[in-house]
Chains A and B, each alone.
Chain A
Amino acid sequence: MTASPNVCLTLSNQPDNVVLVREALSAMAETVGVDDVELNDIRTAVTEACNNVVLHAYEGAEGPLQLEVYLGADAIEVVVRDHGTGIKPHIRSEEQAALGIGLSIIQALAPRVEFRDVVGGGTEVRMEFVTPSAVALESLVHDGFEPPILAREDLATTAALALAPAALARRVLPRVICVLAARARFTTDRISDAELLADALVAQAAQLSTVEHLKMSVCVEPRSLELRVGSPASSRAERPAADSAVHDVGPVIEKLTDERVLLAEGDAEILKLRLRDER
């Protein structure tokens, strides 16, 4: 059994996703009580690692940027991964200077840094930060945890995430949703609704299970967010055949969303929720 990450994000390597990563790290730090100077080190080093993926990993093309955070007793490990050409080989000379500073910064701020090749191509940067002020969360041990994946055609518009435990998701999910709602050009009014929806989804997931990850993907369109939330597979047997109209999401979720559809995907059920900003 190996530890599974507390936060797992699969994003496209667009520059504005670095902001999303930084916001997720801040929300995480608030949950476990990392102090501001420690958080600043983590954010700065992780930003450099993400910028490398944004600028260099896919040689100008689009590709996935993956982030994993492991919250240990007095250390936090952050993994930034790409599936591109990687950081090490074929660095063009004009990029070398910028990349050099980025790597020096990571090495200066993270007590332990490791670069690994990813099977099938790509690089991961594993950074460990010492965080004596952080409170340990319940440890997660899962065999075969798979980071959420995105189909190539969805990558540009969609963010996929897995969060655990609920205490962490309670802070991180609303913050991530806020960033994505802002990107969908929601008004602050509707951004707040999106955060209320995130709260409700975390509360619902926490009731169902305490050890499972809350898995979700969020597709950003102009003035619209589509959330796909995974339900635990076991719940399906208790329900009648999957009905496209969902009535039992609870009144808060129902009032906040414009569309609710239940989809069957293999053995699992996916709850598809749409939130629009009609203005």
Chain B
Amino acid sequence: MTVTHMTNSTATRDSRTGARAGEERLFARHQQGDRVAREELVQRFMPLARSLARRYDRSSEPFEDLLQVAALGLLKALDRFDPDRGHPFASFAVPTVLGEMRRHFRDAGWSVHVPRGSQERALKVRDAQERLANTRGRAPTVNELAEYLELSTEDVIDALQAIQAYESLSLDAPRPGAADEAMSYGDAMGEEDARYELVELDATVSAVMGRIPQRERQILSMRFVEDLTQTEIAERVGISQMQVSRLLRRSLEELRALTSTTG
């Protein structure tokens, strides 16, 4: 057994140095314009390009497009590599491929505020959140959303953040009938009542309460005076729980800013 083991490890080492030697021969042939050698090198290093492309897979680009850019970077690296310098090819190829990918992102105007892919994902997560909340009678967890949409939990978390952040998207568009319901609830509640009840929330806040929109005052009151959950508020007002969440965050932030400036 011991002998076999030793033979194995020697064989591994031999095959590795063998691979390195084969690589050198391929590069030598490639430099002389041998297309077959070039093709073989591409095949050999394609896993490296794929592994680098995968690291950018969470961007808004389809993976196949990323892989194509990485492969282009690999070809450039193959053509520029000088084997006589004695460095392994991989250490030369990684920066070249990454450089190609970064150039692609810049050229593609990728650095717009919300990449389209993540916008679409945010809409999907928002819709799934509502659908699952309706069927289960409670809001879903991130894991449930990830499983349902076949996304990673990181993707779902990013989408939840995007829903919070980008209300200028069509995310805030009211659903059929929702606006009417919100109105009728607002009317029934009465503006003065809401203001008095919120004095209980924070005495310092009551002075500035009139300066935030009525709908936000009502939602604050429902959460912090009536002690309703965000899902319950969403049902009453006829908006999504994610919208309730955003309105709560925004109105509390507004109130804090107003109380700190008025002293």
Measuring CB to CB, which residues of chain A are less than 8 angstroms from any residue of chain B? 16, 19, 22-23, 26, 35-37, 40-41, 44, 47-48, 100-101, 104-105, 107-109, 175, 178-179, 182, 185-193, 195-196, 199-200, 203, 207, 250-252, 255, 279
**Which residues of chain B from 210 to 245 have any CB-CB distance to chain A below 8 Å in the complex?**
223-224, 227, 229-231, 241-242, 244-245
Q: Does A188 contact B153, Cβ atoms closer than 8 Å? A: no
Beyond A22-B154, A251-B224, whether A104 also contacts B94 by CB under 8 A is yes
Contacts of A207 in B (CB 8 A): 260
Instruction: Give, as a whole number of angstroms, the nearest-CB distance from B152 to chain A.
Output: 8
Contacts of A187 in B (CB 8 A): 138-141, 231
What separation, in Å, do the CA atoms of A231 and B138 have in the docked complex? 35
Q: Does A196 contact B241, Cβ atoms closer than 8 Å? A: no
What separation, in Å, do the CA atoms of A64 and B112 have in the docked complex? 36
Query: Does any Cβ of A come within 8 Å of B202's Cβ?
Result: yes
Beyond A108-B98, A250-B202, whether A188 also contacts B227 by CB under 8 A is no
Count chain B CB atoms within 10 A of each CB in A41, A179, A251 and give the residue with the most.
A251
Chain B interface helix/strand/loop/mixed: helix
Contacts of A19 in B (CB 8 A): 153-154, 157
Contacts of A37 in B (CB 8 A): 102, 105-106, 110-111
Instruction: Give, as a whole number of angstroms, the nearest-CB distance from B14 to chain A.
Output: 14
Q: Which 3 A-B pairs have the closest CB atoms?
A: A192-B245, A108-B95, A182-B142
Beyond A37-B110, A101-B94, A104-B94, whether A188 also contacts B56 by CB under 8 A is no
Q: Does A178 contact B161, Cβ atoms closer than 8 Å? A: yes
Contact of B256 among A175, A179, A203 (CB under 8 A): A203
Q: Does A189 contact B138, Cβ atoms closer than 8 Å? A: yes
Contacts of B258 in A (CB 8 A): none
What separation, in Å, do the CA atoms of A266 and B47 have in the docked complex? 55
Instruction: Give, as a whole number of angstroms, the nearest-CB distance from B199 to chain A.
Output: 11
